[in-house]
Amino acid sequence: MDFRLSPAQQILTTTARAFLRQHCPPELVQRLALDERGFDEALWRRMAELGWPGLMIPSDLGGSDGTLLDVILLVEEMGRAGLPGPFVTSAVVATSLVLAAGSPAQHKRMLPTLAAGERIASLALVEESGSFEPASVGLACAVAGRLSGRKLFVKDAHVADDLVVAVRIGAALSLLVVPTDRPGIARLPLDAISGEKLFEVTFDRVEVRPDDLLGRVGDGAALLPPALRAGALARTAEMVGGAQRVLELVVEHAKTRVQGGRPIGGYQAIQHACADLVRDVDAARALLYAAAWKDAEGRAAEADAALAKAYAADACLAVARRGHQIFGAISYCEEHPLHLLHKRIQAASLDFGDAQLHLETVARAIGLEGRL
């Protein structure tokens, strides 16, 4: 057993941390959260120059042959910095779907541009049920026909060039890749406290061509679970990184904020709260790494990923809430970085399945009979 990062992984994380400290300071995170578009093209291009969007893509298609574990380590740093944007939905989820199911033509057309950050893709899955379970997809489409209906909570749809859309062809769950500029597609912003850019995407008799199909008809049921697991783990990494940052900010504050003649970190009430934050972050990170490692090794990791995400949702949100209490009034201000980290953790805890959904997966894995 070994919890240490490989030398290459250490380089990846230290490079990422230094880069994000310089190019994604809290002021930028704040500005992007308040900005309607909230997407920094220059920053995205710089990230692309570092090869980040192509981390999961094979080198012969313009990527750098990374594993899901590498991606998780990178996204943890992004979470630490509070970096907003389409990285997870595009470079992790949509990219892994195209990788897994794309035809040679689709690979050639999409992967080099995704790797170079020149194209952005997002996943359109959730409908009015609010569920991330593939079984709940109802949007109907006939091949070479027309698509009408809507998807909700589509992340960064406004900057996406393509949408991977989960649909029913007959009864068969299937995936389409549809460019966002196709006539009949409209993107309507949702307004969430996190500042993340979420959209309702409506399809009004949108033309669907045979070569829009990703994989074969009915492949969606097999393709979606691993991609959603990658998304869930990436969002877990964001939570862990965010909670780590909250812990660092809180400890710094506890050492320097003087009340009653001494730093508040000298009082046991604060010390004990901080000790719990360390446990929450360490334990969440351990589960995350173990699940991502197992997934990257090609082993069955469904229960591990579910466990990691459910645990992190609870633990990292507890870190954020406790962080507010330790910081006191100043953390209630918009200009203070804590609330954005908090809301990002909140958003990540819900994306790709909330704790309730993942705990049900765990419940089955530990042998509880029946399914709700």
Partner 1 sequence: MNFDFTEAEQAFADEVRRFLRANPPETFAVDGMDAGYGSGANSRAFMRALGAQGWLSMCWPKSLGGREQPMFMKLVLMEELALAGAPFGPLAGVWQTADAIIELGTGRLRREVLPAIARGETAFWQGYSEPDAGSDLLALKTEARRDGDDYVIRGHKIWSSHAGIATHGLVFARTSREARRSRGFSMFVVANSTPGMDIRPIRSMTGEVYHHEVFLDDVRVPADLMLGPPGEGFQALLNGLDADRFWGRFYKAPALARVLRQLVDYANTTRVGGAPLAHDPSVRRRLAAIAADIAALRLVFYRAGCLIRDGAPLTYETAMAKVYADETGQKLARLAMDLLGIWGPLREGSRWAKLGGHISHLYQTTLGHTIAGGTAEILRTSVAVRGLGLPAEPRAAVESKAR
Give the footprint of partner 1 on this chain (CB under 8 A): 1-6, 9, 69, 251, 254-255, 262-263, 265-268, 270-272, 274-276, 278-279, 282-284, 286-287, 289-290, 293-294, 307, 310-311, 314, 356, 359-360, 362-363, 365-370, 372
**What is the closest distance, in whole angstroms, from the C-beta atom of residue 283 to partner 1 in the complex?**
4
**What is the closest distance, in whole angstroms, from the C-beta atom of residue 238 to partner 1 in the complex?**
18
Contacts (Cβ under 8 Å, ≥6 apart) of 128? 150, 152
For partner 1, the closer of residues 27 and 297 by Cβ is: 297
For partner 1, the closer of residues 59 and 271 by Cβ is: 271
Contacts (Cβ under 8 Å, ≥6 apart) of 84? 29, 32, 33, 38, 39, 195, 196, 197, 344
**What is the closest distance, in whole angstroms, from the C-beta atom of residue 307 to partner 1 in the complex?**
5
Positive or negative: CA dihedral 248, 75, 240, 295: negative
CA distance to 78, 98, 110, 247, 329, per residue, from 51 (Å) = 14, 18, 16, 29, 41
**What is the closest distance, in whole angstroms, from the C-beta atom of residue 309 to partner 1 in the complex?**
9
Report DSSP state, residue 264: G
**What is the closest distance, in whole angstroms, from the C-beta atom of residue 230 to partner 1 in the complex?**
17
Please, which residues bridge with residue 168 across strands? 140, 173
For partner 1, the closer of residues 3 and 22 by Cβ is: 3
Three-class SS state of 198? strand
Instruction: Look up residue 286 and give its amino acid.
Output: A
Residue 6 structure tokens: 């490989």
**What is the closest distance, in whole angstroms, from the C-beta atom of residue 241 to partner 1 in the complex?**
17
**What is the closest distance, in whole angstroms, from the C-beta atom of residue 205 to partner 1 in the complex?**
41
As to burial, measured by CB atoms within 10 angstroms (0-12 exposed, 13-18 middle, 19+ buried), residue 36 is: exposed
Gap between the Cα atoms of 292 and 336, Å rounded: 32
For partner 1, the closer of residues 212 and 304 by Cβ is: 304
Q: How many CB atoms lie within 10 A of CB 352?
A: 28
Positive or negative: CA dihedral 266, 270, 273, 278: negative
Instruction: Look up residue 220 and give its amino acid.
Output: G
For partner 1, the closer of residues 103 and 356 by Cβ is: 356
Report DSSP state, residue 231: H
**What is the closest distance, in whole angstroms, from the C-beta atom of residue 348 to partner 1 in the complex?**
17
For partner 1, the closer of residues 76 and 212 by Cβ is: 76
| Alpha-carbon dihedral angle through residues 154, 157, 161, 163, given to the nearest 10 degrees | 20
For partner 1, the closer of residues 18 and 269 by Cβ is: 269
For partner 1, the closer of residues 75 and 307 by Cβ is: 307
**What is the closest distance, in whole angstroms, from the C-beta atom of residue 266 to partner 1 in the complex?**
4
For partner 1, the closer of residues 48 and 286 by Cβ is: 286
Task: Confirm if 220 and 172 have CB atoms less than 8 A apart.
Answer: yes
Three-class SS state of 338? helix
Task: Confirm if 152 and 126 have CB atoms less than 8 A apart.
Answer: yes
